[in-house]
Amino acid sequence: MSKKQLNIVFLIAGSEPLGSAGMQADIKAITACGGYAACALTGIVDEDTRHVKSVTPLPAELVVSQADSFLGDVGAQCIKTGVLPTAEIIDGVAEVLRRYPQAKKVIDPVIVDSNGVQLVSDESIGAYKELLFPLATLITPNFREAEVLLKRKITNITEDIKELGQWGNSVIVKSMESLVFAGRGASAQDMLSDFLYNAQTGKVREFRKRRIPTHNVNGTGDSFSSAIATYLAKGYSLDEAVDKGEEFISKAIALGAEYEFGHGYGPVHPCFMEDKVIHERIYN
């Protein structure tokens, strides 16, 4: 009798002390979505709920060795990247991804902070484009990161998102605001949209959603991209995985909004449950 197989997402990501972003958020989201998470650590981020204090990279050789130790032995259905602090680490990660062509790859280009301030060097951004995006199944920039990658403001999302797929990868641009709602009678303060470009079908889809008023949004992008990676690992198509990822992150934000956490930006809550009685028994 054959044994069951785990739906494995292997992370190449950083660690932070809050448990709301980076590797910690990735692991929670993957587990909540029914996957198995493992991780190669790329660096250590020191932050509180109000700002990032420092980012300390690990040696690129150690990052690569961690990844090969797991992937060469266990393997994974999907590999997902988070913060890659240096161009040397990006180069090493690209080598790893090329060695495991059977795994789907979700590349989350963590290149700017929530205020649009660039976190990595121009060399690193060039390395993302040259080395990682051609290997990606999906890249998941937010709209600020998309504009940095494009080197201009987004003015035509349908054309601009396809440009971000020029390496053969699919793209989801997260959290677009006022641009997409002009003339639709909706306030940019009330609504957000994500846009998916599927490189296989050539189609662009819009996911419209009402903004949830909360400061607990730290790690939203990490959690969302990890949810998508998990559903890809479970065998869903790209469109199906994004549909399920959108449902997951909306519920996680809504539940996270109910909690108090620090003095700044707190976490989403990935461990939502449909049965409120069970939820209260476990978490309250």
Residue 248 has pLDDT above 50, yes or no: yes
What is the total residue count of the chain?
284
Among the listed residues 195, 221, 222, the one whose alpha carbon sits nearest the alpha carbon of residue 208: 195
CATH 3.20.20.80 fits 8-151+216-258+265-283, yes or no: no
Residue 185 has pLDDT above 70, yes or no: no
For residues 106 and 140, the answer to whether their CB atoms sit within 8 Å is: yes
- Helix (H) / strand (E) element for 188: namely none
The pLDDT score that the predictor gives to residue 2 is: 86
Residue 1 has pLDDT above 80, yes or no: no
The set of long-range contacts for 164-167, using a CB threshold of 8 Å and a minimum separation of 24, is: 164/139, 164/197, 165/197, 165/199, 167/129, 167/133, 167/134, 167/136
pLDDT in tens, 79-128: 999 999 999 999 999 999 999 999 999 999 999 876 677 888 999 999 99
Among the listed residues 143, 112, 107, the one whose alpha carbon sits nearest the alpha carbon of residue 128: 107
Distance of alpha carbon 15 from alpha carbon 31, whole angstroms: 17
For residues 179 and 191, the answer to whether their CB atoms sit within 8 Å is: no
Contacts of 60 (CB under 8 A, 6+ apart): 86, 88, 89, 91, 92
3 state DSSP class of 163: helix
Task: Identify the band that residue 178 occupies on the pLDDT scale cut at 50, 70 and 90.
Answer: low
Bridge partner residues of 194 (DSSP): 207
pLDDT in tens, 193-242: 999 999 999 999 999 988 899 999 999 999 999 999 999 999 999 999 99
Model pTM score: 0.92
3 state DSSP class of 193: strand
